[in-house]
Structure 1
């Protein structure tokens, strides 16, 4: 009887170890290339500007989703991004352009995010704001216009030269008239818990950017130890004017984020 009890006990212990091992294996993130990409637009624009990049990534087999943040407050924009991340069926690369970089710096702490890609974007540190960093590294664009209810936009007459100098003029003029006014509060919201401190990152510097000083972009990239590329002649609209280079950087992140 004692032998039978001992055998049963050993069997139960072995089963427990096997179950624990299987559970641990299930909870460990799968290694290898990441197949989900989430794209976050910046201020004054919508997600449609990502279309050239989207077309390349989907053709290459990636599952791509765009965030359409409301640009009404930083908290609401981060929430809109997390809503999309919650729909991913595995790890994702989170990509942000311009102000979208601040959004992914916060939302990037989400467990779905394997890596971050900044495209001419803000990668704020704890306590920093876009306004504050802009004073340290002034841009060369003309002043924004403010609405009576506290939203900002670019004067359409200035948009082509300041935001999209390397896009066809008619396209830039259309985008100038299709702007999404952005709450001024998003630029003065201080960052907390930046994700680039714990997640691998990639950064694209637009060398002719007038909206974000290229030297500020370089500072962000160096501080985050990002894998960095610089695009000569690229305006702030680099994600539209150089989609092949942007998609290549995103795919590099997808290939190596979980190395």
Structure 2
């Protein structure tokens, strides 16, 4: 891999795992980037930040962190690490200090997906009839694969809080998914504006890395060029 190009470290969101970036990773590797996709536990913010820090230890600095959904919360906490040069948010949550995901989501109308969740044994699952609100612009076969492989977060993660948001000291980029039924697009725009991010929009469900991978790649490339 090229030492002149920043590394890319991915953090996935709720109901996913590191393989949700499978349409991006080979392309970025072929373009000369070191790439690692952290496997978040979805048990706690602290555990997921630790997973990102371990991933940073597997690549060369400087690195660009890319977070989808809850992964945006994770990179906002983990991105204060000195090895991090920039932050890319994809249909994500971008909190401020002391702001929980639950509070942030509550600033705008609740997204349709939240009517199709099951809480079992302290874990939150997407009900089968809710998968179209998560990734409805994917072919049916891919939607069912996403449903079958979902990672179920502990309910407590929605009450997580951080002390220092990395976007106050790191440049940030934000991809707003305009047809998102899991994170309100207006909430995404609010977060992006508040952090002073460079913003792009894509007509996509909550999973543009799967349905519109080129749009996500373009924003990552922009960020990577900017922090070289």
Please give the range of the TM-score, normalised by the shorter of the 2 chains: over 0.9
The answer to whether the Cα contact below 8 Å between 1:156 and 1:177 also exists between their aligned partners in 2 is no
In 2: Cα distance, 1:115 partner to 1:86 partner: 16
Q: What does residue 87 of structure 2 align with?
A: 116
Q: What does residue 180 of structure 2 align with?
A: 209
In 2: Cα distance, 1:157 partner to 1:166 partner: 15
In 2: Cα distance, 1:127 partner to 1:34 partner: 34
Q: What does residue 153 of structure 1 align with?
A: 125
Structure 1, gaps ≥5 residues long = 1-31
Superposition map of 1:53-202 within 5 A: 53-137=24-108, 138-141=110-113, 142-148=115-121, 150-159=122-131, 161-202=132-173
1:43 and 2:6 are equivalent in the alignment: no
The answer to whether the Cα contact below 8 Å between 1:39 and 1:94 also exists between their aligned partners in 2 is yes
The answer to whether the Cα contact below 8 Å between 2:134 and 2:182 also exists between their aligned partners in 1 is yes
Q: What does residue 9 of structure 1 align with?
A: none
Instruction: Give the Å deviation of 1:107.
Output: 0.3
1:237 and 2:210 are equivalent in the alignment: no
Structure 2, gaps ≥5 residues long = none
In terms of Rg, which structure is larger? Answer: 1
1:31-81, Cα deviation, whole Å (9 max, x unpaired): x96421001110111111101111221121111111011111111111111
TM-score scaled by length of structure 1? 0.84
Number of aligned residue pairs? 224
The answer to whether the Cα contact below 8 Å between 1:88 and 1:112 also exists between their aligned partners in 2 is no
1:178-209, Cα deviation, whole Å (9 max, x unpaired): 11111111111112100001100000000000
TM-score scaled by length of structure 2? 0.95
Return 82-91 or 105-114, whichever deviates more: 82-91
Q: Secondary structure at the match of 2:91?
A: strand
Instruction: Give the Å deviation of 1:253.
Output: 0.4
Instruction: Give the Å deviation of 1:151.
Output: 0.9
Stretches (4+) displaced over 4 A: none
The answer to whether the Cα contact below 8 Å between 2:63 and 2:84 also exists between their aligned partners in 1 is yes
Aligned-residue RMSD, C-alpha: 1.3
In 2: Cα distance, 1:165 partner to 1:144 partner: 16
